[in-house]
Structure 1
Amino acid sequence: MVGDVTFAGPIAQPRQAWLDRLSVWSDRHFKWLLVAPAVLLILALSIYPLLFSIWVLFVNYDFQVPGHAFVGLKNFRQVVTDPIALRSLWLTVVFSAINVSLEFLLGLALALAMTRTFRGRGLIISILIIPLFISPVIVGQAWALVLQRPFGPTNYVLSQLLGFDVTIGWLTEAPWNYIAIIIADVWQWTPFMFVILLAGLTAIPPNLYEAAELDGVDGWQAFVTITLPLLAPMMLLAITFRLLDAVKLFDTIFIMTNGGPGTKTYTSAFYLYTLGFTQFHLGEATAGAWIILVLTAIVITFLVRRLLREEIA
């Protein structure tokens, strides 16, 4: 026993010192150790697909063609020179601009109407934000049923109101199919703008309006000189977030028109889906996705810089 104690002492002291240093280090970095597993998992799930997609960009990754031969920039050329790709990009820009603009204007109008307290205000706000909690697939299916000819009630109601027979093909005829998609998207996402803008309006101090009223400033002047400047950061924030999501419009189109007739309602997201998962040209679809990513990043970076400038000011 004496021999054991004699030899264990010198070994135990360095080991205990190392454990003490480890304990001190873990206490100092405890918060980072808690999040480290989640960070490593996220990095593993994001970096690997990113690196894999970069490799797919430059090879012939097609399920119908054996092997993965190096093709350089051919995938990019195929997408850039494809008239359907260019048209889908243009349609994405148009849809995004119209949808976000309408949603912003309607959301701002609703937010201004809901700033004052009145009986039933909470119930009305609850009803207005219901579309936010509905899946875009369900929204598309619901509006397809409402607008579909001849079973949907839309044409019948219009016929009764206008006094003549209305037979509009809302899902198959231009420009009605575009209008139908815009209606469905605006109906679902206007509450998003409404909630953010209402939060911004309620944060404006009421004493500013009281002082303006004492100075003889009317409602419109108060809106221009007080509301708009103070609400501008929230406006830009709402537009940025909504625009980032609007360029990915897919679910509603998939359900309502399935990109048709033909390719008339192809957005960039629907085009890439068709190219990659229907025609199995994964190399070209990945190249197209990177092009959309870069274009979207440029626009969003500009908006975020404007937003940060507003916050600093």
Structure 2
Amino acid sequence: MSTPTQTETTDDTALGSLRDVWNDYLPYWFMAPMVLVMVMITFFPGAYDLYLALIEEATLNVFEAEFAGLDNFRTAFTRGGAFHSFVVTITVVVSALFLESVLGFVLAALVSGVESGRTKSFYRVLFIVPMAVAPVSMATIGRIMLNSEIGIIPYVINTLTPFAAPNFLSDIPLLTVILLDTWNWTPFMFIIFYAGLSSVPDTLVEA
């Protein structure tokens, strides 16, 4: 027959074991809501898109559509439009990434060389602000600013230069997309390069 002291010792041991388990898995409990949200906004839409790619046509009730297998992919690649889209995508990615890397490094190097702390903080905030704008909002702002009739950029070009401003949205849409993407994501490259340059000793930079 167990005594009260033995019972209390057993309860304390069990409670301690539960506490240890809770502490061991505590980081995972904190990560669980974020993982759940990420699964909901990435996995399920991705799985649904894959399902749509494998059916005959998208209707109001997609679950009644006929299964097409890989016919949709075969049609896309045989018509030639897929290859053109691939080339355009690669062009945008490579061009924008190059410009973002160069501009991000140049801005990071310039800000790292500023002596005044307040001035350095001002430039850091100024260069990071575009990254806080959603890509959809950035595209809308860019479309308004580059509009040939009401946009501020064509107006400045036509007013202050002897050249006529091109129609950014119809004549050079690929270049426009590259420039807008560069504007939106250069701050990200700036943060990476600035963090790297900040960790470099001043003596090494001066040398």
Shorter-chain TM-score tier: 0.7 to 0.9
Tell me how far apart the structure 1 counterparts of residues 32 and 63 of structure 2 sit (CA, whole Å): 37
Separation (CA, whole Å) in 1 of partners of 2:161 and 2:65: 60
* 1:171 maps to amino acid: L
SS of 1:129's partner is: helix
Partner of 2:78: 81
Could you tell me how far 1:86 is from its partner in structure 2?
Answer: 2.6
Tell me which residue corresponds to 1:170. Answer: 168
The corresponding residue for 2:102 is 105
Q: What CA distance in whole angstroms lies between the structure 2 residues aligned with 1:186 and 1:162?
A: 24
Distance 1:101 1:150, change over 3 A: same
Deviation at 1:46, TM superposition (A): 2.7
Deviation readout 1:13-33 (Å, 9 max, x if unpaired): xx9898666534322311355
Secondary structure in 1 matching 2:169: coil
Q: What is the CA distance between 1:107 and its match in structure 2?
A: 0.9
Q: Give the conservation status (yes or no) of the 8 Å contact 1:60–1:67.
A: no
Distance 1:31 1:54, change over 3 A: farther
Alpha-carbon contact 1:131-1:188 (below 8 Å) kept: yes
Superposed, 1:17-166 pairs within 5 Å as 22-34=14-26, 35-36=28-29, 39=32, 42=35, 46=39, 49=44, 52-53=47-48, 56=51, 58-60=54-56, 62-63=58-59, 67-119=64-116, 120-163=119-162, 166=164
Q: Flag the 1:67–1:102 CA change in 2: closer, same or farther, 3 A.
A: same
Partners of 1:145 and 1:156 in 2: how far apart? 12
- Letter of the 2:166 counterpart: I
- TM-score (normalizing by structure 1): 0.52
Mark the CA change 1:168 to 1:46 in structure 2 (over 3 Å): closer, same or farther: same
Which gives a bigger RCO, structure 1 or 2 (Cα 8 Å, sep 6+)? 1
The separation in 1 between residues aligned to 2:30 and 2:108, in whole angstroms, is: 42
Residue by residue, what CA displacement relative to the aligned partner does 1:43-86 show, whole Å, maximum 9, x if unpaired?
69739738954982654463167724443332432343353333
Please give the root-mean-square deviation of Cα atoms over the aligned residues, in Å: 3.6
Structure 1 residues without counterparts, runs of 5 or longer:
1-8, 213-313
3-state SS in 2 of match to 1:170: coil
Pair 1:196 & 2:195 matched: no
Q: Is the 8 A contact 1:149 1:170 kept in 2?
A: yes
Name the CA distance, whole Å, in 2 between partners of 1:110 and 1:37.
Answer: 36
Aligned residues: 197
Q: CA deviation at 1:169?
A: 1.6
Distance change in 2, residues 1:183/1:43 (3 Å) = closer
Q: Would the aligned equivalents of 2:92 and 2:178 in 1 still touch at CA under 8 Å?
A: yes
Asked if the contact 1:26/1:33 (under 8 Å) is kept, the reply is: no
Is contact 1:58–1:71 with CA below 8 Å preserved after alignment? yes
Residue aligned with 1:163, SS: coil
User: In structure 2, how many angstroms separate the alpha carbons of the residues matched to 1:103 and 1:209?
Assistant: 23
Of 189-198 and 64-73, more deviation after overlay is shown by 64-73
The one-letter code of the counterpart of 1:91 is V
Measured at CA, do residues 131 and 97 of structure 1 come closer, stay the same or move farther in structure 2, by a change above 3 Å? same
Q: Which runs of 5+ in 2 are unaligned?
A: none
